[in-house]
């Protein structure tokens, strides 16, 4: 992609969180010819979650996006994942009565990226917007009404990291 900081954003998922601890706060920007995921904050239980770090991180990202657009979020990020649409197999949204809505990004190769959405979101509207983009860009979009989280997998990842 020639423009590393596109101005056209088709779908923007704000205040998404991945990981166990530390949590990585990010936005998902379906922009230009690729998905950009700037991870702009790390939160720990003591120095982030307990002290409203999520709210502060979200407000700082919103303000930076308002002022500088995509380039602002990318510049403030500690790392940025880039997935060109032609390397994106599917996006799945999850909505259940238990837990937060989730978005899982499945590249053609490699492990999926999974995010819990902490900002208010209408999951059906998000799914419809992603589906419209996916039809134009060549990736599948599915909505699932289940938790999208496997406690056994989380425990195994936690124990493997010790």
Residue 3 falls inside a structural domain: no
The pLDDT value given to residue 18: 87
Residue 40 falls inside a structural domain: yes
Residue 96 falls inside a structural domain: yes
Nearest to 17, CA basis, from 35, 39, 44, 49 = 39
Residue 2 falls inside a structural domain: no
pLDDT digits (tens, 9 = 90+) for 64-118: 999 999 999 999 999 999 999 999 999 999 998 888 999 999 999 999 999 999 9
Query: With bands split at pLDDT 50, 70 and 90, how would you rate the model's confidence at 49?
Result: low
Identify the three-state secondary structure at position 9: strand
pTM exceeds 0.85 for this model: no
In this structure, the strands spanning 88-94 and 102-107 are antiparallel
Higher pLDDT, 162 or 137: 137
Residue 149 falls inside a structural domain: yes
Residue 4 falls inside a structural domain: no
Is the pLDDT at 161 greater than 70, yes or no? no
Mean pLDDT on 3-11: 75
- CATH code at 65? 2.30.29.30
Residue 99 falls inside a structural domain: yes
DSSP letter string, 79-99: EEEEEEGGGEEEEEEE--SSS
Q: What is the CA radius of gyration of the chain?
A: 15
The pLDDT value given to residue 97: 81
- Please tell me the total count of domains within the chain: 1
Residue 144 falls inside a structural domain: yes
Q: Which domain holds residue 50?
A: 9-160
């Amino acid at each position: 992609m020639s423009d590393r900081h596109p101005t056209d954003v088709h779908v923007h998922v704000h205040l998404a969180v991945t990981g166990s601890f530390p949590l990585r706060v990010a936005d998902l920007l379906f922009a230009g010819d690729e998905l950009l995921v700037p991870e702009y904050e790390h939160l720990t239980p003591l120095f982030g979650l307990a002290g409203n770090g999520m709210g502060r991180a979200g407000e700082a990202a919103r303000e930076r996006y308002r002022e500088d657009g995509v380039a602002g979020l990318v510049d403030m990020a500690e790392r940025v994942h880039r997935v060109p649409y032609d390397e994106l197999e599917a996006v799945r949204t999850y909505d259940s009565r238990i837990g937060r809505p989730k978005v899982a990004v499945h590249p053609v190769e490699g492990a999926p990226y999974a995010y819990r959405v902490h900002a208010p979101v209408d999951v059906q509207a998000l799914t419809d917007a992603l589906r419209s983009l996916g039809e134009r860009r060549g990736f599948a979009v599915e909505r699932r009404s289940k938790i999208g989280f496997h406690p056994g997998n989380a425990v195994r990842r936690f124990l493997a990291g010790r």
